[in-house]
Amino acid sequence: MFFSEIIGQQEIKSRLIKSVGEERISHAQLFAGTEGVGKLALALAYAQYISCRNRTESDSCGVCPSCHKYQKLEHPDLHFVFPVYSVGKIKKPTSDDFIKQWREFVLANPYFTLNQWLSYIDVENAQGMIYEAESASIIRKLNMKSFEAEFKVMIIWLPERMNISCANKLLKMIEEPPSKTLFLLITENEENIITTIRSRAQLVKIPRIDSASMRDTLKKHESVDEGVVEGIVHLANGDFIKALEYINPDEEKKYYFKKFQELMRFAYKPETLELIQWADELSRIGREKQKEFFNFALRLAREYFILNLNKENLIYLNKEEKEWGQKFAPFLNERNISQITAEYELAYKHISMNGNPRIIFLDIALRMAKLIKR
C-alpha cells in the first residue's frame, strides 16, 4: 500500500512520514477513527514505508523486494491479528487460520467494515472475536528475530474485539516489547479497549476524509455520474465506505431498509401476527447482521426526525430512503424519538451480550407499535 493510494489524510501522512525520517517511531500506536476513513490503509502504507529500502521523501519506492512483498501482504516481518470465528474443526481459531482470505479481501479494497469481512468468511450466528489462542501466536511471532526488515510489524485490526485474557497478554508485550517491534492497533471504538493498553499506545486520531479529496476520488470512479458527485460527498460525510454504498448499495443494506419499512408499517397498523413473523425472520440472520440492522434502524430514525424538522443541510439519506421518508418522517417527532432511539440502542446492547434474538426482536416490534403513534 502506498500513501499516494490513500484518500485524503494529508496531515496524517506527513506526520507518519516525518516520524520515520526523524527516527521517532513509537513502538505502539493506536489509529483511532470512524469507519471508512482509511485507518487500515494508513497502517499498511506506514508499515511498507518503514520497511522500504529506497523510500523517498513522500512514499515507498515500490520496486525493492520489501515493497513487492508488502504489496502482496506476504512480507515475513508483517503480521496480522483480526476478528475470526470458530468453525468446523477449528475450535481455537487464530488469524493465521484465515490469513489467505484476509489477504485476498484487503488487497481487493482496504476500506471495509467488520460485517463485510465476516460475511466474506461466512460467519453466520457467531460474533467475530480475537480469541485467547491468538495471544500465543502473537508472542511466538514477535519473539522471533526479524527476517528481512528492521522492524517486525504487528497490525491488530479492531483490538476492541479482543478476549480479555488475550488483551492482558498483549499488554505485557507492549510494556516490554521485543527489540524493533512495532504494534499498529486500528480501532473504531477506543473506549472499548482496555485502559492499560490505551495508555501505553501513542494515539493517532484519524479524521474524516475531507470533501475535496472525496470529490476527486469519486470523479475518477467509473460508476459515478459527475452530476451526483456532490450529493454523494455530502451523504458520505467523510466516510469512503458509505460513499461506495451510495454508488452501489449492497444487498444487505437493501434488506435492512426493507425490514425497517416493514417494522414501521406493521407497528403503525398494528398487525401483531406480522410483527411476530418479522421478529422470527430477523432472529435468524446472525448476530453481526442483527447488530448491523439496529445500527441501520438507529441511523434512519435520527435522519427521519431531522427530515421532519426540515433541516435539509443536516440530512444524510440516499434518494430511496428520502423519498420513503417524506411520508413517514412525521411519525418520528419530539414526543417519541428519544424513546425509539433508546429502544434500538438497548436492543443492540442485548444482542451484543448474546441475548435471545427472538425475544429481543419481538420486544422491539411490540414497543414500536406503542411508540410510533405518539
The closest alpha carbon to 229, from 238, 219, 237, belongs to 219
Q: Record the cell numbers describing residue 195, joined without a space.
A: 485502559
pLDDT of residue 203: 95
CB 17 within 8 A of CB 49: yes
Which class for 170: exposed (0-12), middle (13-18), buried (19 or more C-beta within 10 A)?
buried
Give pLDDT < 70 ranges for the chain: 88, 124-126, 222-223, 225-227, 312-314, 374
The closest alpha carbon to 236, from 227, 228, 246, 221, belongs to 246
DSSP E strands: which ranges in the chain? 28-32, 78-81, 152-157, 181-187, 202-205
pLDDT of residue 222: 66
| DSSP assignments along 26-49, one per residue | -SEEEEE--TTS-HHHHHHHHHHH
CB contact set of 241 (below 8 Å; sequence gap of 6+)? 35, 36, 111, 112, 113
pLDDT of residue 373: 77
pLDDT of residue 124: 63
Report the chain's C-alpha Rg in angstroms: 22
pLDDT of residue 247: 78
Spatial separation of the C-alpha atoms in residues 159 and 190, rounded to whole Å:
9
User: Count of CB atoms within 10 A of residue 349's CB?
Assistant: 13
Triad 160, 163, 165: Cα angle to 5°: 125
Residue type, 119: S
In the chain, the domains with their CATH numbers are: 3-207 (3.40.50.300), 250-371 (1.20.272)
Spatial separation of the C-alpha atoms in residues 194 and 160, rounded to whole Å:
8
pLDDT of residue 70: 95
pLDDT of residue 223: 65
CB 197 within 8 A of CB 171: yes
Q: In the chain, what are the helix, strand and coil shares in percent, each to the nearest 5?
A: 60, 10, 35
